[in-house]
Amino acid sequence: MPKVVAWRRDFHQHPELSNQETRTAGIVAAHLKALGIEVRTGVGGNGVVGILRGGRPGKTVALRADMDALPVVEQVDLPFKSTVRSTYNGQDVGVMHACGHDMHTAMLMGAAEVLSGMKAQLAGTVVFVFQPDEEGEAGKPQGAVAMLADGVFDHPKPDAVFGLHVGITSAEVGTLTYRANGFMAASDFYRIVVHGRQTHGATPWDGVDPIVAASQIVAGLQTIVSRQTKLTVGPAVVTVGAISGGVRNNIIPDSVVMLGTVRTFDTGMRKDIQARIRRTADLIAQSQGATATVDIQEMTTVTANDAAITQRMIPTLQRAAGAANVREGQPVTGAEDFGFFAERVPGMFVFLGVRPKGSPESAFVSNHSPRFFADEAALPTGVRTLVGLATDFLGERRM
């Protein structure tokens, strides 16, 4: 544990943005090599893969951790607080492990050390997946997709994949939250451009006003979930997160640009909502003589936990955290690219609570906030969970 804590603090103090995780990847690769684990680097960018072959034949299990940080200025007063700055989208930004991936990387390094110490007894193979670029950038495949394209699951092909995430919910430190089937949402990025015709603000009839059309499209989009989607199938969210158009009070501009996100848990619903976004934008624009260009990009898939594996691994979670600290959770509308791994082979993703013991639930600050704080007391539970999932899966002969 002292080593895991030290790694975590070091990563926390030296966070690296998505696709810049070279220092972190170097430390991970050196550690795996020192343990005598077979190592591949540069997998899907800065990804590192370790392959530990046990002393006895058996199945293959993959454990995954992500390594990247976010463009956030840390506001938590820690002795190992980050003061790192970098460039993101051309802007000078602070960098912070505001999603807790520093803990994920440190815990999986710890699990690799424990498991390599049990090499002779291990029946099967453990693949350690240290992934870059989980946070992703619009228009680019995320780290999980890049690693899969680079063959991370090809030789050997895992029979199952496990991963965990700190925080996400306000659960207390050391607790584990699981859910069979859809656990985290699919995420789509969309961009709508409403094209009008520029004119003087005093004579709107001489042009086509994209601002009025855009404002009605915003309102129209809100009826997709509230009035048109069968919500008993699963939750859904349509958000407009950015809108811009115009430069001056008395000029009606030529166009308005809107950016948004969609969250769903069901493929049919996902496609249906995409079609309704196109129709809503198109027809509202048309009704006023404007036009709309709609571009929708599917970003992250649903993180769906294999129901049978989830059921079988509940006792493992209970041993790792204590039975009273394991609970079934509700679907989360946040998105995670672990879902791409779990689409390829059966998988399970769990949440590890990091809210300090005894602190009020209302004091929990969510991931991605500059005040996100993850209690290190969760680290032993996390390492036990990863090691337990691997050994129990490999030891379960009927699976």
Residues with catalytic function: 68, 134
For 28-154, where are the E strands, in sequence order? 38-43, 47-53, 56-66, 85-88, 91-94, 123-131
Residue 199 · residue 372 · CB < 8 Å:
no
Pull the structure tokens for residue 181. 């089937």
Q: How far is CA 316 from each of CA 41, 126, 392, rounded to the nearest angstrom?
A: 31, 17, 7
Phi and psi at residue 111, in whole multiples of 5°? -65, -40
Distance CA 375, CA 357 (A): 9
Looking at the Cβ atoms of 62 and 99, the one nearer to Zn ion is 99
Task: Residue 149: count other Cβ atoms within 10 Å of its Cβ.
Answer: 11
Task: Residue 219: count other Cβ atoms within 10 Å of its Cβ.
Answer: 11
Of 329, 331, 375, nearest in space to 353 by CA: 375
Looking at the Cβ atoms of 63 and 277, the one nearer to Zn ion is 63
99 sits near Zn ion (criterion: CB under 5 A) = yes
Least distance in angstroms from the C-beta of 345 to Zn ion:
21
For the beta sheet containing 347-352, the strands, ordered from the edge strand earlier in sequence to the opposite edge, are: 38-43, 47-53, 123-131, 56-66, 160-166, 347-352, 176-178, 326-328
Give the length of the chain: 399
Looking at the Cβ atoms of 99 and 387, the one nearer to Zn ion is 99
Stretch that binds Zn ion, among 52-60, 98-106, 314-322, 340-348 (CB under 5 A): 98-106
Least distance in angstroms from the C-beta of 347 to Zn ion:
16
Query: What residues does 187 pair with on adjacent strands?
Result: 263, 300
Looking at the Cβ atoms of 116 and 367, the one nearer to Zn ion is 367
374 sits near Zn ion (criterion: CB under 5 A) = no
Looking at the Cβ atoms of 225 and 378, the one nearer to Zn ion is 378
Stretch that binds Zn ion, among 97-105, 111-119, 233-241, 261-269 (CB under 5 A): 97-105
Helix, strand, coil % over all residues of the chain, rounded to 5: 35, 30, 35
State the number of binding residues for Zn ion (CB under 5 A). 1
Query: What residues does 60 pair with on adjacent strands?
Result: 125
Least distance in angstroms from the C-beta of 336 to Zn ion:
7
Looking at residue 77, its amino acid is D
Looking at the Cβ atoms of 29 and 99, the one nearer to Zn ion is 99
Stretch that binds Zn ion, among 78-86, 95-103, 141-149, 302-310 (CB under 5 A): 95-103
Looking at residue 2, its amino acid is P
Nearest residue to Zn ion, by Cβ distance, number only: 99
Least distance in angstroms from the C-beta of 188 to Zn ion:
17
Stretch that binds Zn ion, among 28-36, 80-88, 92-100, 138-146 (CB under 5 A): 92-100
Looking at the Cβ atoms of 20 and 280, the one nearer to Zn ion is 20
Stretch that binds Zn ion, among 91-99, 192-200, 301-309, 355-363 (CB under 5 A): 91-99
Of 146, 152, 120, 110, nearest in space to 56 by CA: 120
| Residue ranges in 278-317 that form contacts with Zn ion under rule CB under 5 A | none
Least distance in angstroms from the C-beta of 31 to Zn ion:
21
Looking at the Cβ atoms of 303 and 316, the one nearer to Zn ion is 303
Of 45, 270, 222, 63, nearest in space to 137 by CA: 45
Least distance in angstroms from the C-beta of 41 to Zn ion:
22
Task: Residue 153: count other Cβ atoms within 10 Å of its Cβ.
Answer: 19
Least distance in angstroms from the C-beta of 272 to Zn ion:
27
| Residue ranges in 331-360 that form contacts with Zn ion under rule CB under 5 A | none
Stretch that binds Zn ion, among 99-107, 123-131, 237-245, 319-327 (CB under 5 A): 99-107
49 sits near Zn ion (criterion: CB under 5 A) = no
Least distance in angstroms from the C-beta of 378 to Zn ion:
14
Residue ranges that bind Zn ion, judged by CB under 5 A: 99
